[in-house]
Structure 1
Amino acid sequence: MAKKSRTKARDQRTTDSTPGEVGPRQPCPCGSGKRYKACHGAPGGGADAFVNRPFEGLPSECDIIALRELVPAGTAPLTLASSVEGSDRTVTLCSLLPMAAPAMVRESGEIWLGLQVQHSFGDPARDLGAVLTKALAAAEAGETGVVGLTDAPGQGPRLQDLVTGDSLDVTVHEGFDYWIADVEDKDSMAGALDPANEAAYPTARLTQVEAAYWTNVGTKEHLRWVMPEPEDQLLDALARLHASGKDDIAPGSRLVGMFRAHGLLAPVWDLPVGTGPEALEDPAAQFAADLAAALADESPLTAEERSARNGLANRQVTIR
């Protein structure tokens, strides 16, 4: 009996966790495929503790997540806080840099900071803060080239500590020509961009709502929309809209599931081929208004809405 009790207690310790905490037996959110206790949860495994919502507090948090996980080619200028040494320097946040570099100091002294990198130190915002700090120091010293991390960043500033502003001005590019925008001899380097450009699916950011991105993957089109609301409230609201038939974005569209990335959800709609981003603008604005009303509804879910919620919860894919 005592052995059974100890086993039950041990099972509870290894499976129970506080809200937002990753359990030891759960997959590590870094994406390694290992259990948390064998990866970032292991002693010395990942240096920094895993942060579930690392970009919270940054301007345009949802767009940053989209640029890191969903958008092939996008940029946004960052405004450095006045307390940062070199705060007058031009810094551009980029979805992807050549060779997936974490950062680059250009010949002009401008700094490019890359989002799509494979650091696994637990807190991407701290990684970005460490890389940006190193790039600023290199630029001040007159150095140019790639800047990255080879070791865990330690307890230095996070990106939130280095930048300011309420929102980002995001530009989605057709390809990666921005990599050579500041290069004089563009013709000699243009051929090297061809493979990268061919792999970049056409993407566009909607203008009437925040962090909603249309893309064409060839066989179909999608709308992927990163939303800032807490998961439980958002699932309730989406279930209400589904039950009332208000979750269509365009004729023939279908809400097929959602990504979970960096603590937020990104609902995904399948769209008929030929829809394009322009046709989504007004419907997306209407959906945002309907979603706001559903989020404000505090009444208990009906049986139909609970069923819709369960279906949505079962169609989630965790990216990060």
Structure 2
Amino acid sequence: MAKKSRTTSQPTAPGEVGPRQPCPCGSGKRYKACHGSADGASAAYISRPFEGMPSECDVIALRELVPAATAPLTLKDSDRVVRLASLLPMAAPAMVRASGDVWLGLQVQHQYGDPARDLAAVLERALATEEPGIVGLTSAPGEGPRLQDLISNDTLDVTVHDGFGYWIDDVEDPDTSMQAALDQANGAASPTARLTSVDAAYWTDVGTKEHLRWIMPEPEDALLDALSRLHAAGEDSLVADSRLVGMFRAHGLLTPVWDLPLGTGAEALEKPTAAFATALADALADTSELTPAQRSARAGLANRQVTLR
């Protein structure tokens, strides 16, 4: 008879990261060898770093999903112009422009456990820098304020751009190297639009199909229950031939993803998403026990989650 393994697999609770899963910090290591170990990371991993940030769901979208978008930030203790951007040239953490304006990038390479703290540290460093150029971090910033502590915005006014032209919109005469880098970046960006009828829902066309990716602020368990009720009732389709195919988990929130037929476009989603938001609110308010069909739907949805961070 074969020996039984001395190790047992412990179930992972909803919202938690398993020891063999990729660490949500983005290091590329397994969780047990990074933020899940006693000495595998220099800073504690923050599961929901942008909580309390105005337009938290949009910030996550710009950091993880949206190619080209910007939003102005208003500082509590300064009148400097600060522009939050999904991506800056060379994935720079921040840039001080010739005008003195500061551009702050969300899609960057460094990961020190708390991106909101990283952003604040980069912003403070950029505000203290007089010369134009790139500003970044080379080591963990240590204790200090987080981005939501430095700004006074109630909401973010997000502008989704057709491409990365905003990289040079303050340059009167861009040289050929700037234009070449811009053309290359634009060629890799998928067309994206932010819906206006609901918060933090983004349509995109990736060429072979279209998607709607909708970042939602509700707690994971409650949201999964509500989505499973709608799925079991056949009420989770947005337009004809659309399908809820799964969801991303990023920075403590879930992002349901729908596949859409080619040619759908963003405008056709406005009324259906508003109606779905109403149905979802009703489902969230339903605290009755899930039926067998709803539990089966929930298991299927939970199995189609992909953790980004």
1:302 offset after TM fit, Å? 1.0
Aligned-partner Cα distance in 2 for 1:20–1:305: 19
| Alignment partners' CA distance in 1, 2:71 and 2:167 | 14
1:73 maps to which residue?
68
Question: Which amino acid is 1:71 matched to?
Answer: V
Partner secondary structure for residue 80 of structure 1: coil
The answer (yes or no) to whether the contact 1:256–1:270 under 8 Å persists in 2 is: yes
Match of residue 52 from structure 1: 47
Q: Is the 8 A contact 2:195 2:266 kept in 1?
A: yes
| Alignment correspondent of 1:128 | 119
Question: Which whole-Å deviations, capped at 9, do the CAs of 1:132-189 have from their partners, x for residues lacking one?
Answer: 1101111xxx221100000101001111111122210000001000000000103643
1:45 is displaced (CA, Å) by: 3.4
Partner residue in 2 for 1:93: 84
Q: 1:310 aligns with which of 293, 299, 303?
A: 299
TM-score when normalising by structure 1 = 0.90
For the residue of structure 2 that corresponds to 1:88, the secondary structure is coil
The aligned counterpart of 2:220 is 231
Would you say 1:198 and 2:207 are equivalent positions? no
Tell me the CA shift for residue 43 of structure 1. 4.8
Unaligned runs of 5+ in 2: none
Structure 2 residue 281 is matched with structure 1 residue 292: yes
Match of 1:164 in 2: 152
- Give the aligned partner of residue 103 of structure 1: 94
1:28 to 23, 27, 32: 23
Q: Bigger CA drift: 184-193 or 116-125? A: 184-193
The code of the aligned residue for 1:124 comes to P
Percent of aligned pairs sharing the same letter:
73
Structure 1's 260 and 253: CA in aligned 2 closer, same or farther, altered over 3 A? same
1:113 aligns with 2:104: yes
1:46–1:120 contact (8 Å) kept in structure 2: no
- 1:40 counterpart = 2:24: no
The SS at the match of 1:129 is: helix
The correspondence of residues 201-220 of structure 1 with structure 2, limited to 5 A, is: 201-220=190-209
Moved over 4 A (4+): 15-26
2:169 aligned partner:
181
The gaps in structure 1 that reach 5 residues or longer are none
Aligned partners of 1:71 and 1:23: how far apart in 2?
A: 27
- Are the aligned partners of 2:197 and 2:270 in contact in 1 as well (CA < 8 Å)? yes
Query: Which residue type is aligned with residue 247 of structure 2?
Result: M
Aligned residues of 1:249 and 1:283 also touching (Cα < 8 A):
yes
- Bigger fraction of residues in helix: 1
TM-score relative to the length of structure 2: 0.93
Letter matched to residue 165 of structure 2: D
Matches of 2:13 and 2:295 in 1, distance apart? 24
Q: Distance in 1 between matches of 2:15 and 2:257?
A: 23
Separation in 1 of the partners of 2:37 and 2:172? 49
Letter of the structure 2 residue corresponding to residue 100 of structure 1? A
- Native 8 Å contact 1:20 1:52 kept in 2: no
